Amino acid sequence: MTYFPAELIKKKRAGLAHDRAELEFLINGFVAGTIPDYQMAAWLMAVFFKGMTATETSELTHVMLHSGRTLDFSSLHKPVVDKHSTGGVGDKTSLILAPLVAAAGIPVPMIAGRGLGHTGGTLDKLEALPGFRIALSLDEFQAQVAALGTALTGQTAEICPADKRIYALRDVTGTIESLPLICASIMSKKLAEGINGLVLDVKHGSGAFMKTVEQADLLADKLMEIGQHHGKRVIALLTRMDEPLGRFIGNAVEVGECIAIMKNEPYLGRPPEDFADTRELTLELAAAMLWVGGASPSLEHGRAQAEDLLVSGKAWQKFAEICRAQGGQLEQLPTPTVRQVVRSTANGYVAAYDTEKLGLAAIAMGGGRLKTSDVIDPVAGIEVHKKLGDAVVEGETLFTLLGGSRRSFDEASAMVVAATTISLQKPVVPSLITKRKVI
Ligand code: URA
């Protein structure tokens, strides 16, 4: 059936719902080049203002998912699972989760992303390991998942090409912050991996895209609805991102923190106990992945199983195996060569962080990209000496700026100071996991 693009734009502008055929006409036409950017942009803006019904969002996800290749792991005869985080600062759990869950016999085909805005990306972290190949072909990716239980790679042009093109257009037309567009974008990519179960880490707080618990709760509901419509087992954890996760923000240093957790050894002078929050969140997400993957009868059992896989060194062995398979030279993980401490000018307690600003400070130092052509300094980053609620005295170190050069250290120093609130009253710090949602 032929539609008139302008009529479909007007239909959405009027707040009416599209059916699958209309969405196929628009999305497939855009990918094929028969719908021009200006019409797609107008339609996206209409969606931004008028939203979409749950069914419509699910149909949009379906159409985007089928705009490219989808993976099929049914020959493994095992449930296949993955995790998606809505993004944060120091958010490094994927690096431990993929090997840990694979070590339990549950395949994890992880198609990861680059940093977005102030947040870091798993691909940038992996690339800090010299030689690590993050651009596997889909055939290589599938073969490695079958052989080793997991592989980590970047999105290829064959997976969800509609999302790639639409996302680029949203980025320049002020239409990123639309719930149905965000949900369809995230879920189409995850569903294309051929998974049976998905664990969502939906973050809220000053370092998350969703600043409030309520917004995160709504996003979790919408993502879960789509998963359910597509017959997947989904669990969502709402987690605090009002301070960086763990002690390091950056790329090589985040890999270092994860290795320290997996090997239970110190990193850059910090004992593994200092990484308790990263470890805790990773174990909770792992428990959920083991449960949705059917390896554990309950979340409690999954948690015990996850701890066992971590403590026994099995997660570490699997990580080393993945690195060998993908060319990453673990023994050559670079370490920062330049350091500058940032001290407190007040006495009291760390009461709040503007975590987004901390992420942006790390990016300014070369830990991320402001534009796609920017070159990352793999060792650039920030060591966070104080967690929320910690006492601090004047002159004590709050942060150490790290890098391979002093790139933007002065600017970053001012940013991290401005991002830190110290008060005389000890704040109440809530639990890292705010809510678990299961369908
Ligand atoms: N992440 C995505 O992959 N897509 C969005 O639209 C937002 C965040």
Enumerate domains of the chain plus CATH numbers.
5-51 (1.20.970.10), 74-159+193-331 (3.40.1030.10), 336-423 (3.90.1170.30)
Closest CA to 359 of 241, 256, 223, 211: 241
Q: How far is the CA of 174 from the centre of ligand 1 (A)?
A: 14
Beta bridge partners of 234: 198
Q: Is 85 in the pocket of ligand 1 (CB under 6 A)?
A: no
* pTM listed for this prediction: 0.95
Q: Is 62 a catalytic residue?
A: no
How far is Cα of residue 99 from the mean position of the Cα atoms in its chain? 16
Q: Which residue has the least CA distance to atom 7 on ligand 1? A: 182
Closest CA to 205 of 235, 238, 180: 238
Q: Is 201 a catalytic residue?
A: no
How far is Cα of residue 88 from the mean position of the Cα atoms in its chain? 7
What pLDDT is stored for residue 177 in this prediction? 87
Q: Which residue has the least CA distance to atom 8 on ligand 1? A: 182
Among residues 18, 83, 84, 357, which one is catalytic? 84
Q: Is 84 a catalytic residue?
A: yes
In which order are the strands placed within the sheet that holds 348-353? Answer: 391-392, 348-353, 420-423
Looking from the CA of residue 176, the nearest atom of ligand 1 is 6
Q: How far is the CA of 317 from the centre of ligand 1 (A)?
A: 32
What pLDDT is stored for residue 369 in this prediction? 87
Q: How far is the CA of 303 from the centre of ligand 1 (A)?
A: 29
Q: Is 185 in the pocket of ligand 1 (CB under 6 A)?
A: yes
Give 10-residue mean pLDDT values along the chain (439 residues): 94 98 98 97 98 97 97 97 96 98 98 88 96 96 98 93 93 90 96 97 96 97 96 97 98 98 98 98 98 96 98 98 98 98 98 97 93 89 98 98 97 98 97 95
What pLDDT is stored for residue 1 in this prediction? 77
Among residues 114, 125, 164, 189, which one is catalytic? 189
Q: Is 290 in the pocket of ligand 1 (CB under 6 A)?
A: no
Residue 370: count of CB within 10 angstroms of its CB: 10
What pLDDT is stored for residue 439 in this prediction? 79
What pLDDT is stored for residue 373 in this prediction? 81
Q: Is 186 in the pocket of ligand 1 (CB under 6 A)?
A: yes
What are the tens digits of pLDDT across the range 229-262? 999 999 999 999 999 999 999 999 999 999 999 9
What pLDDT is stored for residue 337 in this prediction? 98
Q: How far is the CA of 334 from the centre of ligand 1 (A)?
A: 30
Q: Measure CA of the first residue to CA of the last residue in the chain; give whole Å.
A: 36
Q: How far is the CA of 181 from the centre of ligand 1 (A)?
A: 8
The interaxial angle of helices 138-148 and 314-326, nearest 10 deg, is 150
Distances from the Cα of 214 to the Cα of 203, 314, 433, angstroms: 11, 37, 14
Q: How far is the CA of 116 from the centre of ligand 1 (A)?
A: 9
What pLDDT is stored for residue 419 in this prediction? 98
Q: CA Rg, the chain, in Å?
A: 22
Q: How far is the CA of 182 from the centre of ligand 1 (A)?
A: 5
Q: Which residue has the least CA distance to atom 1 on ligand 1? A: 186
Q: Is 178 a catalytic residue?
A: no
Q: Is 170 a catalytic residue?
A: yes
What pLDDT is stored for residue 404 in this prediction? 97
Looking from the CA of residue 185, the nearest atom of ligand 1 is 4
Q: Which residue has the least CA distance to atom 3 on ligand 1? A: 186
Looking from the CA of residue 167, the nearest atom of ligand 1 is 6
